[in-house]
Amino acid sequence: MSKSEPLKIVEFPLTARSAKLILRDLAENHTNRIKFSKHARDRLSQRDITIQQVLCIFKSNSNRFHEQPHQTAGGDWQMNIEGIASGDSIRIPLVLRKHEDDPSVLVITVISI
């Protein structure tokens, strides 16, 4: 993985393993490619969850999918990943865009579980 270029994986369908690799690379090396919807930012504040906790879950080897990656009508990949960060169990619904050539993530919301 190059730190100057995000990890690009060309496969169909996108596997959970590959999605985790992309999320980890983006969280470690390309945080500018991780965006938060207004709703997600509101829930972060409301639920006392930090962006660092979200990034920690993306990087974690022990995170797991609550909902496996599945393709949306627009061709993106939607999934729910969950893990523990700073003692909080958190589920993160997200959309992974353009994983083949220019990967980015949109965090839809965060849920305390």
Mean pLDDT within 90-104: 92
100 — pLDDT class (breaks 50, 70, 90) = confident
Contacts of residue 44, Cβ cutoff 8 Å, sequence gap at least 6: 36, 50, 51, 54, 110
Point out which residues pair with 70 in neighbouring strands: 78
Mean pLDDT within 53-58: 97
When comparing pLDDT for 97 and 8, which is higher?
97
- pLDDT exceeds 80 at position 3: no
Report domain extents, the chain.
Answer: 33-112
- pLDDT exceeds 60 at position 2: no
Mean pLDDT within 57-82: 95
Give the rounded percent of residues in the chain with a pLDDT score beyond 90.
Answer: 84
CATH for the 33-112 domain, from 3.30.870, 1.10.1060, 1.10.3470, 3.30.2310: 3.30.2310
Question: How do residues 6-44 score in pLDDT, each as one tens digit?
Answer: 887 888 899 999 999 999 999 999 999 999 999 999 999
Q: What pLDDT was estimated at residue 1? A: 45
Give the rounded percent of residues in the chain with a pLDDT score beyond 70.
Answer: 97
In Å, how far are 4, 20, 61, 81 from 69, measured between CA atoms? 26, 10, 17, 9
